[in-house]
């Protein structure tokens, strides 16, 4: 930030920051990052990680500095090496390849994602066509599709619903990616149920508690803000959904990797900023945004908490003793 820049001078002024809570890391993200840290501490670098452990560039860069090596596919991992599966889960085919290669696998799949995998297998085994609501190409969706590829159809939006063809309309189930927008997903489910009245679903909602909580928390501040800033990476589904939640409510929103990504032109004429972070974004990045805004003038921070998260997920059995820093 250059105070001599006319754009930054135009953005100067006092502001209120409405801080959404909950925000930033969820239990599944914390668990996945801690798994990589503990494996690095016990096995020593390099430790290979298939895909980004969580979808955040800052997290990945920090773990790379500690000795983690991120790869797209297992063919980049040496035989017999240690590999961590990301929080987004993998398909059975990836697990089989790791076993054939003799890789030492540590699974950091979020337990809530693992739940969806189990449901996909169960629904397909009972003879249903599984309609998976989600985004093509997302790591989580790829893993879930791999559980029963011959029985699963990906549904990305309401517009796709009329075109779905299934062998038996009475044998249909649906599942969802865990990081979707709650309201949009409900619209798709309603459309599917109108098309397939006997459709069955999971016993409990697949969209995870953290995604739901962050969307509700943002909604509680966005209506009173001139602009919403969402801290998160562009490939983070839950972060992108937060931007969409604000925009659907009529408030302009921007996804930023960190404070350095703020365009001063966005801030001109604003007096109230809504601020949150996706579930894979480190909390200090939010503090950095507040500090950047303080450089432009007095900032009053008001936190609005809509839920308190107490969820914790246990580490894999072999990693539960000791700590990442010994």
Find the angle CA(78)-CA(80)-CA(85) to the nearest 5 degrees.
80
Neighbouring CB atoms inside 10 A of 46's CB total 15
88 labeled binding residue? yes
CB of 102 closer than 8 Å to CB of 80: yes
238 labeled binding residue? yes
Q: What are phi and psi of 267, to 5 degrees?
A: -90, -15
CB of 24 closer than 8 Å to CB of 303: no
d(CA 14, CA 110) in angstroms, rounded, equals 41
Q: Which residues have a catalytic role annotated?
A: 140
d(CA 105, CA 102) in angstroms, rounded, equals 9
163 labeled binding residue? no
d(CA 143, CA 191) in angstroms, rounded, equals 25
135 labeled binding residue? no
| Cis bond upstream, residue 22 (ω within 30) | yes
Neighbouring CB atoms inside 10 A of 27's CB total 19
- Residue 165, C-beta contacts closer than 8 angstroms, at least 6 positions apart: none
In what side-by-side order are the strands of the sheet with 47-50?
68-71, 47-50, 82-85, 104-107
236 labeled binding residue? yes
280 labeled binding residue? yes
Long-range pairs of 265-271 with CB within 8 A, sequence gap ≥ 24: 265/7, 265/10, 265/11, 266/227, 267/11, 267/227, 267/293, 267/296, 268/7, 268/10, 268/11, 269/226, 270/15, 270/226, 270/227, 271/13, 271/14, 271/15, 271/16, 271/226
> Closest by alpha carbon to 149, among 92, 234, 85, 206?
92
55 labeled binding residue? yes
323 labeled binding residue? no
Look up residue 28 and give its two tokens: 């599944």
Q: Which residues are annotated as a binding site for isopentenyl diphosphate?
A: 55, 88, 138, 236-238, 280
> Residues comprising the binding site for dimethylallyl diphosphate?
55, 88, 138, 236-238, 280
* Residues flagged as binding site: 26, 55, 88, 110, 138, 178, 208, 236-238, 280
């Amino acid at each position: 930030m250059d105070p001599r820049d006319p754009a930054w001078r135009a953005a100067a002024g006092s502001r209120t920051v409405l801080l959404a809570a909950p925000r930033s890391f969820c239990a599944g993200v914390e668990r996945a990052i801690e798994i990589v840290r503990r494996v690095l501490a016990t096995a020593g670098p390099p430790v290979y990680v298939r895909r980004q452990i969580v979808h955040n560039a800052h997290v990945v860069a920090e773990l790379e500095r500690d000795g983690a090596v991120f790869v797209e596919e297992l063919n980049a991992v040496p035989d017999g090496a240690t590999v961590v599966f990301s929080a987004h889960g993998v398909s059975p085919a990836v697990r089989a390849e790791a076993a054939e290669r003799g890789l030492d696998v540590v699974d950091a799949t979020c337990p809530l994602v693992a739940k969806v995998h189990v449901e996909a297998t169960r629904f397909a085994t009972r003879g249903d066509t599984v309609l998976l609501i989600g985004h093509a190409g997302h790591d989580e969706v790829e893993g879930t599709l791999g559980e029963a590829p011959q029985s699963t159809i990906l549904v990305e939006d309401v517009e796709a619903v009329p075109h779905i063809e299934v062998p038996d309309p009475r044998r249909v189930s649906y599942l969802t990616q865990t990081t979707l927008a709650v309201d949009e997903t409900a619209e798709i489910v309603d459309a599917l149920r109108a098309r397939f009245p006997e459709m069955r679903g999971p016993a409990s909602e697949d969209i995870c508690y953290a995604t739901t909580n962050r969307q509700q928390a943002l909604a509680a501040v966005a209506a009173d803000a001139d602009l919403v800033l969402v801290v998160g990476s562009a490939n983070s589904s839950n972060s992108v959904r937060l931007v969409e939640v604000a925009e659907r409510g009529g408030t302009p929103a921007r996804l930023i990797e960190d404070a350095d990504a703020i365009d001063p032109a966005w801030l001109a004429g604003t007096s109230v900023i809504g601020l949150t972070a996706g579930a894979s974004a480190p909390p200090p990045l939010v503090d950095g945004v507040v500090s950047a805004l303080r450089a432009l003038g007095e900032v009053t921070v008001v936190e609005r908490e809509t839920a308190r998260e107490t969820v914790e997920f246990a580490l894999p059995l072999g990693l539960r003793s000791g700590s990442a820093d010994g």
